[in-house]
């Protein structure tokens, strides 16, 4: 027998999609306040939003008649025509308040200035009470108590208070970046944990407040237009990358979204400039006529569908690429392309090193590169019949850190099949080790290689004793990584302790780092903490604890490694090579990049057109 479901059940079903966790309710309330033209939005939560959430605004308010309607399903003031594509507000379904009211004890207090006094309405787990007068003077206040108390199964899926609060801070920060004119505050258990003062018409200032000056100081300005579509915002330098996609913020017509395909587009724009497993930081505002985008494709309005997705994709990619290319600080990508050339066998005959036209673009697979200083790569060697071996030896004597004769002699014992990484011959640019092998040569990225070794060693310590060995800092370090980061870090303190990172709360919005994994030595603790928090925020709900630990370990080990730029002597270099040979998975760094490339003599001969 088929029957129509009662409204209470229908609302709960809708709530299942709209209200996944406290942060999603907060998102709906903030968006309602923005739609009501508020200039100040104050959020307070207690116990991760579980027992109490309140959003206060100074917007237009709701009159007595509309107040009763506002909690009814499919009742909205925001669709003025019957055209679902003509959406000019963040809301349009008339679904949020009835959904929230079906899974909580919700009270709305509001006043329309035209009314003599304010009014309030209460909805208790779907049961709508009569409206009553209230003392509210201006704007609207929505209070949500005991979310999901009628749905124990949902309640069970919530994470700890700290994690839920971190998510609330994160969504508030995200939405705020598109609305610099509006001030935001978040109070958590009575303590103000985030304050974003209004920054009238100054998006950059708001983004600086939300994401930190480290990003905005160096970010590249985006301003591109195609037909009726515009892309504005900021693209971070490729070198300012993160271990997760959490730094990619995308807005379509002012709406904060988490659209996988757009995130993919942003990543694609950085494709050959950021190593695999790392992600850019960018704040992208896409604006286009509302009829050209469908925002009604996702229950939490987190995704959109464009009429012409291809045009948007190329707009985003071209704008970001152009910004990166016009910036001189990104010359690091040169090396990436060069690596591609070394393993790239065809086309070698036309000597790619200085045949290139320097104006050509730095394409993904284009071997010709804009060498800024070709002389640097030019040796005085005559290209004659000199044997390849001899040529390498000659080249080596030109290198900055060629080894002394003694070292080379002893290292030659490594010139055997037992030692696939061969004998270290030189360090180039304080970054790469060049080794001679039985039948060719190997170039090793010392940082990438060492990073892998550090990771494997930390893993081994954990396996042996259950924890990564830690060492106390002489002076504990106080770090203020932002409210959301503090939450998620403290939340994971026991887990981090297992990984050798001992932290504790330190007043408002700060943490104290007491001990660090011993193997890391001297390192940039602040950046390490920020990266770790980022990692945890991204993976908090979607990954198992063990998975999260792996991710954090990889991040930590990155900080324990020999940096590119540190001179190494022959013994150190050979020790590193022997270590790599003895370590599993040492061919790839923790971010998936190769740690070394091999060139057989045959390859080298091809490069010089001798084959
Ligand atoms: N903070 C507020 N200030 C003024 N009016 C509000 C506020 N919150 C809600 N309203 C009114 O209540 C109505 C219902 O809100 P609700 O969030 O349920 O639906 P919506 O915003 O219209 O659509 P959506 O379900 O997509 O969010 C709104 O259309 C608006 O008229
Ligand atoms: Mg709404």
Structural domain 212-330, CATH architecture: 2-Layer Sandwich (3.30)
Q: What is the C-alpha to C-alpha distance for residues 437 and 133, in angstroms, rounded to an integer?
A: 86
Q: How far is CA 401 from the centre of its chain?
A: 38
Taking a C-beta distance cutoff of 8 angstroms, is the pair 216, 235 a contact? no
- Spatial CA neighbour of 444 closest among 306, 568, 554, 320: 568
CA–CA distances in Å: residue 69 to residues 11, 63, 142, 226, 477: 15, 10, 15, 41, 54
Pocket mutation for ligand 1, best pick of 94, 100, 106, 299 (most atoms within 8 Å of C-beta): 94
Mean pLDDT across 501-524: 89
Atom of ligand 1 lying closest to residue 142 CA: 1
Q: How sure is the predictor about 91, in pLDDT bands with cuts at 50, 70 and 90?
A: very high
- Of 80-84, 322-326, 378-382, 386-390, the one with minimum mean pLDDT is 378-382
Pocket mutation for ligand 1, best pick of 27, 35, 255 (most atoms within 8 Å of C-beta): 35
Taking a C-beta distance cutoff of 8 angstroms, is the pair 509, 533 a contact? no
Mean pLDDT across 521-526: 84
Pocket mutation for ligand 1, best pick of 33, 55, 57, 76 (most atoms within 8 Å of C-beta): 76
Ligand nearest to the CA of 106: 1
- How far away, in angstroms, is 29 Cα from ligand 1 center? 8
Q: What is the C-alpha to C-alpha distance for residues 247 and 284, in angstroms, rounded to an integer?
A: 11
Atom of ligand 1 lying closest to residue 61 CA: 4
Taking a C-beta distance cutoff of 8 angstroms, is the pair 254, 232 a contact? no
Ligand nearest to the CA of 96: 1
Q: How sure is the predictor about 309, in pLDDT bands with cuts at 50, 70 and 90?
A: very high
- How far away, in angstroms, is 429 Cα from ligand 2 center? 57
- Spatial CA neighbour of 29 closest among 152, 196, 186, 209: 186
- How far away, in angstroms, is 36 Cα from ligand 1 center? 8
Mean pLDDT across 155-179: 94
CATH of domain 7-190: 3.30.565.10
The pLDDT of residue 421 = 87
Q: Is the pLDDT of residue 28 over 50?
A: yes
Token readout for 85 is 């594509």
The pLDDT of residue 22 = 97
- How far away, in angstroms, is 32 Cα from ligand 2 center? 5
Q: What is the C-alpha to C-alpha distance for residues 507 and 517, in angstroms, rounded to an integer?
A: 24
Which residue, judged by its Cα, is nearest atom 27 of ligand 1? 91
Token readout for 504 is 């504790």
Express the helix, strand and coil content of the chain in percent, nearest 5 each: 40, 20, 40
The CB density around residue 195, as the number of other CB atoms within 10 Å, is 13
Ligand 2 is an ion; residues with CB less than 5 A from it = 32, 91, 96
Mean pLDDT across 68-88: 85
Which residue, judged by its Cα, is nearest atom 13 of ligand 1? 70
Ligand nearest to the CA of 139: 1
Ligand nearest to the CA of 141: 1
Q: What is the C-alpha to C-alpha distance for residues 372 and 338, in angstroms, rounded to an integer?
A: 13
Which residue, judged by its Cα, is nearest atom 19 of ligand 1? 94
465 versus 368: the higher-pLDDT residue is 465
Q: How sure is the predictor about 499, in pLDDT bands with cuts at 50, 70 and 90?
A: very high
The pLDDT of residue 38 = 98
The pLDDT of residue 352 = 28
Q: Is the pLDDT of residue 190 over 90?
A: yes
Taking a C-beta distance cutoff of 8 angstroms, is the pair 451, 590 a contact? yes
Q: Is the pLDDT of residue 325 over 80?
A: no
Q: Is the pLDDT of residue 378 over 60?
A: no
CATH 1.10.760.10 matches 387-611 = no
Taking a C-beta distance cutoff of 8 angstroms, is the pair 396, 402 a contact? yes
CA–CA distances in Å: residue 357 to residues 49, 231, 363, 371, 445: 60, 31, 13, 9, 28
- How far away, in angstroms, is 247 Cα from ligand 2 center? 26
- How far away, in angstroms, is 353 Cα from ligand 1 center? 63
Pocket mutation for ligand 1, best pick of 32, 60, 109, 118 (most atoms within 8 Å of C-beta): 32
- How far away, in angstroms, is 5 Cα from ligand 2 center? 23
Encode pLDDT of 429-476 as tens digits: 888 999 998 888 888 988 888 888 888 888 889 988 989 999 999 899
Which residue, judged by its Cα, is nearest atom 21 of ligand 1? 91
Atom of ligand 1 lying closest to residue 94 CA: 19
22 versus 474: the higher-pLDDT residue is 22
Ligand nearest to the CA of 31: 2
Beta-carbon contacts of 43 under 8 Å, excluding residues fewer than 6 positions away, are 26, 29, 30, 53, 54, 55, 56, 168, 172, 184, 185, 186, 187
DSSP string spanning 379-400?
-S---SS--HHHHHHHHHHHST
> Tokens 């005991």 appear where?
146
Between helix 545-558 and helix 446-465 the angle, nearest 10°, is 140
Atom of ligand 1 lying closest to residue 76 CA: 29
Taking a C-beta distance cutoff of 8 angstroms, is the pair 170, 258 a contact? no
Mean pLDDT across 121-142: 97
The pLDDT of residue 119 = 98
Which residue, judged by its Cα, is nearest atom 29 of ligand 1? 76
Pocket-forming residues, ligand 1, beta carbon under 6 Å: 28, 32-33, 36, 57, 59-62, 70, 76-78, 91-97, 140
The pLDDT of residue 504 = 95
Domain coordinates of the chain in residue numbers? Answer: 7-190, 212-330, 343-378, 387-611
Q: What is the C-alpha to C-alpha distance for residues 253 and 101, in angstroms, rounded to an integer?
A: 28
Atom of ligand 1 lying closest to residue 97 CA: 18
419 versus 284: the higher-pLDDT residue is 284
Beta-carbon contacts of 536 under 8 Å, excluding residues fewer than 6 positions away, are 488, 489, 491, 492, 548, 552
Percent of the chain with pLDDT over 70: 83
- How far away, in angstroms, is 114 Cα from ligand 1 center? 18
Mean pLDDT across 393-414: 45
- Spatial CA neighbour of 151 closest among 19, 336, 334: 19
Kindly state the DSSP code that residue 418 receives in the 8-state scheme.
Answer: T
Q: What is the C-alpha to C-alpha distance for residues 148 and 468, in angstroms, rounded to an integer?
A: 39
Percent of the chain with pLDDT over 90: 47
Taking a C-beta distance cutoff of 8 angstroms, is the pair 370, 358 a contact? yes
Ligand nearest to the CA of 57: 1
């Amino acid at each position: 027998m088929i029957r129509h479901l009662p409204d209470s059940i229908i609302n709960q079903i809708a709530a299942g999609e709209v209200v996944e966790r406290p942060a999603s309710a907060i998102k709906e309330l903030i968006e309602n306040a923005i739609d009501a033209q508020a200039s100040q939005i104050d959020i307070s939560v207690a116990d991760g939003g579980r027992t109490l959430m309140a959003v206060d605004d100074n917007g237009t308010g709701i009159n007595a008649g509309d107040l009763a309607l506002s909690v009814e399903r499919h009742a909205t003031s925001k669709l003025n025509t019957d055209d679902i594509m003509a959406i000019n507000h963040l809301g349009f379904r008339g679904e949020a308040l009835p959904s929230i009211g079906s899974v909580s004890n919700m009270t709305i207090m509001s006043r329309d200035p035209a009314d003599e006094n304010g009014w309030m309405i209460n909805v208790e787990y779907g049961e709508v009470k009569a409206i009553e007068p209230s003392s509210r003077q201006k704007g609207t206040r929505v209070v949500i108590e005991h979310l999901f108390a009628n749905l124990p199964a949902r309640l069970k899926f919530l994470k700890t208070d700290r994690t839920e609060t971190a998510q609330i801070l994160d969504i508030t920060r995200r939405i705020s970046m598109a609305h610099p004119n509006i001030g935001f505050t978040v109070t958590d258990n009575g303590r103000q944990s985030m304050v974003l003062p209004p920054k009238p018409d100054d998006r950059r200032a708001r983004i600086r407040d939300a994401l930190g000056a480290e990003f905005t100081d160096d970010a590249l300005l985006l301003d591109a237009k195609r037909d009726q579509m515009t892309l504005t915002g900021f693209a971070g330098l490729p070198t300012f990358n993160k271990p997760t996609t959490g730094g990619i913020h995308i807005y379509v017509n002012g709406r904060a979204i988490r659209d996988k395909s757009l995130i993919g587009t942003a990543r694609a724009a950085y494709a050959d400039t950021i190593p695999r497993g790392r992600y850019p930081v960018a704040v992208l505002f896409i604006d286009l006529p509302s009829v050209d985008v469908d925002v009604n494709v996702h229950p939490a309005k987190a995704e959109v569908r464009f009429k012409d997705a291809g045009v948007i994709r190329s707009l985003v990619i071209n704008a970001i690429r152009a910004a990166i290319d016009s910036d001189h600080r990104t010359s690091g990508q040169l090396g990436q392309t060069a690596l591609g050339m070394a393993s790239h066998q065809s086309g070698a005959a036309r000597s790619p090193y200085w045949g290139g036209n320097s104006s050509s673009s730095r394409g993904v697979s284009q071997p010709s590169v804009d060498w800024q200083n070709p002389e640097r790569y030019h040796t005085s060697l005559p290209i004659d019949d000199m044997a390849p071996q001899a040529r390498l030896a000659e080249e080596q004597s030109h290198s900055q850190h060629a080894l002394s004769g003694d070292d080379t002699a002893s290292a030659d014992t490594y010139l055997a099949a037992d030692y696939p990484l061969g004998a270290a011959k030189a360090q180039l640019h304080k970054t790469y080790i060049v080794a001679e092998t039985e039948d060719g040569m190997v170039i090793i990225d010392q940082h990438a290689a060492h990073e892998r070794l550090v990771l494997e060693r930390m893993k081994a310590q954990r396996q042996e004793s259950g924890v990564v060995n830690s060492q106390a800092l002489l002076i504990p370090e106080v770090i203020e990584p932002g409210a959301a980061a503090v939450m998620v870090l403290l939340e994971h303190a026991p887990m981090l302790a297992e990984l050798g990172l001992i932290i504790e709360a330190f007043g408002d919005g700060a943490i104290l780092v007491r001990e660090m994994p011993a193997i890391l030595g001297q390192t940039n603790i602040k950046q390490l903490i920020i990266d770790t928090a980022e990692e945890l925020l991204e993976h908090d709900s979607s990954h198992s604890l063990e998975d999260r630990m792996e991710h954090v370990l990889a991040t930590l080990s990155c900080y324990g490694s020999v940096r590119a730029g540190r001179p190494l002597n022959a013994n150190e270099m050979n020790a590193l090579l022997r270590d790599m040979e003895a370590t599993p998975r040492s061919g790839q760094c923790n971010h998936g990049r190769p740690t070394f490339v091999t060139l057989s003599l045959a390859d080298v001969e091809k490069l010089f057109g001798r084959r």
